[in-house]
Chains A and B, each alone.
Chain A
Amino acid sequence: MTYAVNEACIRCKHTDCVEVCPVDCFYEGENMLVIHPDECIDCGVCEPECPEEAILADTEPDAEKWVELNRKYADIWPNITERKDPPPDVAEWSGKPDKMDYISSEPAAL
């Protein structure tokens, strides 16, 4: 009963989702955002906001691995509550498949 962010977010942090979340449950890594599965209220408002279509419900097939990845990093990355500009090279990475090789486990620079 949560939403989760998948690899489509990697290097494409638009952060539109952050602005609409009523419970501020997004956490920010160096090049990706995640949702805290225990804090998400399952309201779904973020899902259509994402230009990369990187947010999925945990009822979708294959969602479990993303929920686990989200849980892992939500515990160690900082909370993000305000929208910020996407990375300058976002167009280059947008829509690219199989971006897991590029995920950074580092937290966002504060």
Chain B
Amino acid sequence: MNLMDTKPVTAADYASDQEVRWCPGCGDYAILKVVKNVLAEIARPRDEVVFVSGIGCAARFPYYLSTYGFHTIHGRAAAVATGVKLANPGLDVWVIGGDGDFMSIGGNHTLHALRRNVDLNMLLFNNAIYGLTKGQSSPTSPIGTRSPTTPNGSVEQPVNALAFALGAGAKFVARGADTLQTHLPTVLKRAHENKGASFVEILQNCIVYADGAFGAINDRSESHNATIRLEHGQPMIFGKEEDKGLVWNEKAQEFRAVALADTPEQQLAVHDETNIQRAFALARLEQPDFPVALGVLYASDAPEYAHARGFTAKRKPFDREALKSLL
């Protein structure tokens, strides 16, 4: 297939001819579907899009797309993607990895890609377990997770991926969930629009080794009670009946969950995605006392890496004819 012949317009155009091999019911299918739809909406030609992955179930992602792809080594996807982007800034580069890839063996690369603010769309598929190697506890597994490596239950405090990203200096931090098929595309589109490293944690259910790890968050019927969908400039309201909200306590620098019946709307916090202190607080909201924050927690317009280093101006645009002459 010649990637340069046609301009794709539908999600199906971004599907490869490979048989998708994840376990039946895996949340990765839901993410793949959303990504294909988002790619079709962005409508970049397939030869200008690259998906770079490390190792793990999530890392199979590039095989299932008709874009360019690079299945690299464990944890190194962000490093390879940085090279791809700097060598050819005209490409749209996505990085795919799981909690092992991004938060464990590749934690350092995640940190540096974020602090450099390279223009990458980094999607962390967080399923809170090592799925590909059959179910060992991961850096995001909750305390008490029983697994072959933690037979008496994990005693280690899990990493909060978004707080980590903010701490590393990320300029765009967001969260979505696999089965929220109308919400997740809005998050991915914002991540793609952002120029710089866009870090998106996608809560993804592993149906085999950590089924239900995120409880009601990615259960479509219950999700609104377990999550808050953030929108810049809007009051923080949540609940299936839109009957709950968050109030910001300035003195304690923390949120408090309230019932709207007891609280006038003007007292509710209004989401300001440029406020990093609140972004930290939002990243750490956890069930059952708080709704888990979904959407764009933090976005700043800091210059991305290539721009800051003046790379973009020095690079020649992609020469399609030159490539064709080689084929």
A side interface size, CB within 8 A: 14
Which B residues lie within 8 Å of A45 (CB)?
24-25, 207
Known: A39-B181, A43-B26, A48-B24. 7 other contacts (CB 8 A): A23-B30, A23-B179, A41-B30, A43-B22, A43-B30, A81-B220, A81-B221
**B 27-69 contacts with A by CB, 8 A:** 27, 29-30, 32-33
Instruction: Determine if B205 is an interface residue (Cβ-Cβ < 8 Å).
Output: yes
Assess whether B302 is interfacial by the CB under 8 Å rule. Answer: no
**Residue among A23, A41, A42, A47 with max Cβ neighbours from chain B (10 Å):** A41
Nearest A-chain residue to B178, judged by Cβ: A22
Residues on A with beta carbons closer than 8 Å to the beta carbon of B12: 1
The answer to whether A42 touches B179, judged by C-beta atoms less than 8 angstroms apart, is no
Q: Is residue A20 within 8 Å, beta carbon to beta carbon, of the partner chain?
A: yes
In contact, B25 and A24 (Cβ under 8 angstroms): no
With A24-B220, A81-B221 already in contact, the answer to whether A43 and B25 are too (CB < 8 A) is yes
CB distance from A99 to the nearest CB of B (A): 26
In whole Å, how far is A58's beta carbon from the nearest beta carbon of chain B? 11
B11 neighbours in A (Cβ, 8 Å): 1
- Report B-chain residues with C-beta under 8 Å of the C-beta of A20: 25
The number of inter-chain residue pairs (CB within 8 angstroms) is 44
Q: Which of B177-224 contact A (CB under 8 A)?
A: 178-179, 181, 205, 207, 218, 220-221
In the complex, A23→B11 CA distance in Å? 18
Contact with B along A44-61 (1 / 0, CB 8 A): 110110000000000000
Given A1-B15, A41-B30, A41-B33; A22-B25 close (CB under 8 Å):
yes
Asked if B87 lies at the interface with its beta carbon under 8 angstroms from chain A, I say: no
Interface size of B by CB at 8 A reads 21
Q: How far is the CA of A20 from the CA of B179 in the complex (A)?
A: 13
B20 within 8 A of partner (CB)? yes
Instruction: Note all chain B residues with C-beta closer than 8 A to A42.
Output: 20, 29, 33
B28, closest chain A residue (CB)? A43
List residues of A (1-50) whose CB comes within 8 Å of B's CBs: 1, 20, 22-24, 39, 41-45, 47-48
Q: Is the CB of A22 within 8 A of B22?
A: no
CA–CA, A42 and B26, complex, Å? 10
A41 to B218, CA, bound (A): 14
Min CB distance, A37 to chain B, in Å?
Answer: 11
Q: Are B205 and A22 in contact (CB under 8 A)?
A: yes
On whether the beta carbons of B30 and A47 are closer than 8 Å, the reply is no
**CA–CA, A52 and B181, complex, Å:** 29
Task: Give a binary string over B254-279; 1 marks a CB under 8 Å from any A CB, 0 the rest.
Answer: 00000000000000000000000000
Supply 17 A–B pairs (Cβ within 8 Å), ascending by A: A1-B11, A20-B25, A22-B30, A22-B207, A23-B181, A23-B220, A39-B181, A41-B29, A41-B32, A41-B33, A43-B26, A43-B29, A43-B30, A44-B24, A44-B29, A45-B25, A81-B220
